[in-house]
Amino acid sequence: VHPEAHSKGIGRRLLKRAEELARARGAVSMTLNTATTNRRALRLFEPAGYLGVVTLPGNYARGQSAVAMFKPL
């Protein structure tokens, strides 16, 4: 979501819609990765039910780590 549109619920709506579409196509879970330092993303994903399952050291450029997250649908 573009920075000018932050804090307007757009990310939550997009995430919810992606989950609905995945569920409609038979998916039973969702996974995603985000940087461990991306607090904004973590504040979106964690309340939506995503659980951090593993840290991926050096997953991004400049050695930045990621967290893999999982949610049953």
Q: What is the pLDDT of residues 5-60, one digit of tens each?
A: 888 999 999 999 999 999 999 999 999 999 999 999 999 999 999 999 999 999 99
Supply the DSSP string of 1-67, one letter for each residue. Answer: --GGGTTSSHHHHHHHHHHHHHHHTT--EEEEEEETT-HHHHHHHTTTT-EEEEEETT-SGGG--EE
Residue 21 phi, psi dihedral angles, 5° rounding = -65, -40
pTM of the predicted model, to two decimals? 0.87
Would the pLDDT of 1 be above 90?
A: no
**Cβ atoms of 26 and 18 closer than 8 Å:** no
